[in-house]
Amino acid sequence: MTSAREQGGGILKFLATIDRRIVYFVLFVLVVGPLISPIGMPISVAPDTVQYHNAIAQLGPDDVVLLHLGTEFSGWNELSAGAMASAKMVVEREAKLVIIVGHPEATGIPPLVYEGLKGVMEAKGYKYREDTLNLGYMFPNEPAVAAAAADFHGLVRTDYLGNSIEGTFLNKVKTAADWALIIDINTGIWNQALINHWRLPFGTKIVAHIIGVMVSGAKANVDAGLYEGSLGSLRGGAELEYMIKAPGPGLQAMDAFTLAHYSLLIFIVLGNIGYFGYTRPARVKERTAVK
Amino acid sequence: MVDIMEFSIAVVGAFISMCMFSTLYGKSNPLYSLAEESYVGFATGLVVVTACTYIYRVGFLGISAGDWILAVGIVLGLLTFSRIFPDYAYISRLPIGISVGAQLALSMRTSIFTGFAAHINAVIVNLFPADAKLMRDRWTIFLTIIPSLTFFLYTI
């Protein structure tokens, strides 16, 4: 009986040495295809998402909510769906929405948030300075986060345009205790600082929408009572969109996610068949020949 | 109707993205270099402008509102530029030391609670609750904590 190597490998050699560009091409097709033409594959909602949703659902009119954008643009791609769905929930409950930025790259994100909320804000009669404010980049480091918690107006005097915030609804916010909720859209930028200096001393409620690699840490914070809830990655964003019946980029991306993950599973199986059928026997053969 | 500005942004964005992805082809190429350096240049410029705006909004507007202590921060910030001059570079250690010290002190005095105590508290729970699913979760956490802690035994 001849080995796969002696036979020239055939299909097993092809599987073991498959050109990675083929893998990338298949992934490209499977990701772009559903984005252009969504399939609408089914989705289930995790208990974590329900908990996150319920924390925001408790908001009422005149509650002041801080949307903290502790993300870069790379993270925004993963978090935008959940962030927009969260902000939409806030506006639907007629709470006051304040956007603050924790990373220089995120200074370009608030206009995208307002553009996405245009319809619901018009429907609810939202006006800038009366119901919402964009404070821009205000958290460059942990001392700034701590300072804003202890004396908000000592740190923040103007909105992102340089207009004074005196006389706005933020007059009633003195310390971190005066915020109804922090929605922390985060890739690891000042998330711990918010817990350390807002949650711990003032008891400010925080919900976190985080990227995939931060999910396990955020769940530990939920269990420890430091977060009211956490929403994981684009998948969580899609689940929140589903819960509030506002389909958007999250649900649209789930088709691509599902197909891409299935294809990766298939490639892993095929790669292992190639490894055990061709690569490994070939290595054994070479080692014997040296002796 | 998409205006010409939005269309241009989309086209340039798509082009730069595809240039970035060209690295997947496996070889360095001028298009990837163009995208990479454009990104680095843009990000650096954005950080400088954003930082200057922050100093103006928090520092200068604060001082003009009578909060003179903020002037100390601006002076310390300027002292960091002494690194540019080798003879006076040692002066920059002062603002850097204050900055690092303040940040560490603020973080450590609270992290001991939020990073340790709260999490230890969270796992001191009844291992036999009425809800079977909850009991499964708690036992999973309890059992996985033990091998996690052995990490510290191996590294002592």
Nearest to B58 among A155, A192, A225 (CB): A155
Q: What is the pLDDT of residues A170-187, one digit of tens each?
A: 999 999 999 999 999 999
Distance CA B21, CA B32 (A): 8
Q: Which chain A residue has the Cα nearest residue B119?
A: A224
Band of residue A37 on the pLDDT scale cut at 50, 70, 90: confident
Q: Indicate which of A100, A115, A161, A195 best probes the interface with B, i.e. most B CBs within 10 Å of its own CB.
A: A195
Is B67's pLDDT higher than 60?
Answer: yes
Pairwise CB contact (< 8 Å): B26 & A20:
yes
- The answer to whether residue A119 neighbours chain B at the CB level (below 8 Å) is no
**pLDDT cut 70: percent of chain A above it:** 94
Band of residue A109 on the pLDDT scale cut at 50, 70, 90: very high
Which residues of chain B neighbour A154 with C-beta distances below 8 Å? 62, 67
- The answer to whether residue A171 neighbours chain B at the CB level (below 8 Å) is no
Query: Of A217, A219, A165, which Cα lies nearest the Cα of A188?
Result: A217
Name the CA radius of gyration of chain B, rounded. Answer: 26
A232: three-class secondary structure by DSSP: strand
Pairwise CB contact (< 8 Å): A158 & B57:
yes
Band of residue A1 on the pLDDT scale cut at 50, 70, 90: very low
How far off is chain A from B117, nearest CA to CA, in Å?
Answer: 9
Is A164's pLDDT higher than 70?
Answer: yes
Band of residue B155 on the pLDDT scale cut at 50, 70, 90: low
**What are the backbone dihedrals phi and psi of residue A4, each rounded to the nearest 5 degrees, phi first?**
-60, -35
Average pLDDT (B103-125) is: 89
Q: Which two tokens stand for residue B98?
A: 């204050």
Count interface pairs A-B at CB distance under 8 A.
77
Output the pLDDT for position B149.
82
Q: Which two tokens stand for residue A33?
A: 């295809």
Distance CA A16, CA B77 (A): 57
φ/ψ bin of A285: left (φ > 0), alpha (ψ from -120 to 50), beta (otherwise): alpha
Distance CA A161, CA B137 (A): 49
* Sole residue written with tokens 């490994």: A280
- The answer to whether residue B67 neighbours chain A at the CB level (below 8 Å) is yes
Output the pLDDT for position A36.
87
Nearest to B110 among A107, A137, A200 (CB): A200
Q: Kind of pairing, strands A181-186 and A206-210? A: parallel
Is A199's pLDDT higher than 90?
Answer: yes
Which residues of chain A neighbour B65 with C-beta distances below 8 Å? 157
Lowest mean pLDDT among A46-60, A93-107, A274-288: A274-288
CA distances from A97 to A165, A169, A181, B66 (A): 14, 10, 10, 29
Average pLDDT (B110-119) is: 89
Q: What is the mean pLDDT of chain A?
A: 91
Q: Which chain B residue has the Cα nearest residue A108?
A: B46
Is A105's pLDDT higher than 70?
Answer: yes
Distance CA A209, CA A5 (A): 51
Is A259's pLDDT higher than 70?
Answer: yes
Strand stretches in chain A, DSSP E: 64-70, 96-101, 132-137, 181-186, 206-210, 229-232
Output the pLDDT for position B28.
79
Average pLDDT (A146-160) is: 94
Output the pLDDT for position A8.
60
Average pLDDT (A226-230) is: 95
How far off is chain B from A158, nearest CA to CA, in Å?
Answer: 7
Output the pLDDT for position B75.
95
How far off is chain A from B122, nearest CA to CA, in Å?
Answer: 5
CA distances from A162 to A30, A138, A159, B68 (A): 46, 12, 5, 20
Nearest to B61 among A105, A107, A158 (CB): A158
Nearest to A225 among B26, B102, B118 (CB): B118
Distance CA A234, CA A253 (A): 8
Q: In chain A, what is the straight-line distance between the N-terminal and C-terminal CA atoms, in Å? A: 22
ipTM of predicted complex: 0.81
Output the pLDDT for position B115.
86
Q: Indicate which of A200, A204, A216, A222 best probes the interface with B, i.e. most B CBs within 10 Å of its own CB.
A: A200
Band of residue A7 on the pLDDT scale cut at 50, 70, 90: low
Lowest mean pLDDT among A128-132, B126-130, B148-152: B148-152
**pLDDT cut 90: percent of chain B above it:** 55
How far off is chain B from A56, nearest CA to CA, in Å?
Answer: 23
Is A213's pLDDT higher than 90?
Answer: yes
Band of residue A156 on the pLDDT scale cut at 50, 70, 90: very high
Pairwise CB contact (< 8 Å): B46 & A105:
yes
Average pLDDT (A112-116) is: 94
- The answer to whether residue A137 neighbours chain B at the CB level (below 8 Å) is yes
Orientation angle between helical segments B4-21 and B30-54, nearest 10 degrees? 120
Query: Of A195, A205, A193, which Cα lies nearest the Cα of A145?
Result: A193
Lowest mean pLDDT among A111-115, A119-123, B78-82, B103-107: B103-107
CA distances from A203 to A99, A176, A196 (A): 20, 8, 10
Q: What is the pLDDT of residues B29-49, one digit of tens each?
A: 899 999 999 989 998 999 999
Average pLDDT (A146-174) is: 93
Average pLDDT (A205-219) is: 94
A206: three-class secondary structure by DSSP: strand
The residue type found at A166 is E
Pairwise CB contact (< 8 Å): A21 & B26:
yes
Higher-pLDDT residue of A114, A19: A114
CA distances from A141 to A25, A51, A151, A184, B82 (A): 41, 30, 16, 16, 22
φ/ψ bin of A209: left (φ > 0), alpha (ψ from -120 to 50), beta (otherwise): beta
Pairwise CB contact (< 8 Å): A157 & B65:
yes
Pairwise CB contact (< 8 Å): A225 & B122:
yes
B55: three-class secondary structure by DSSP: helix
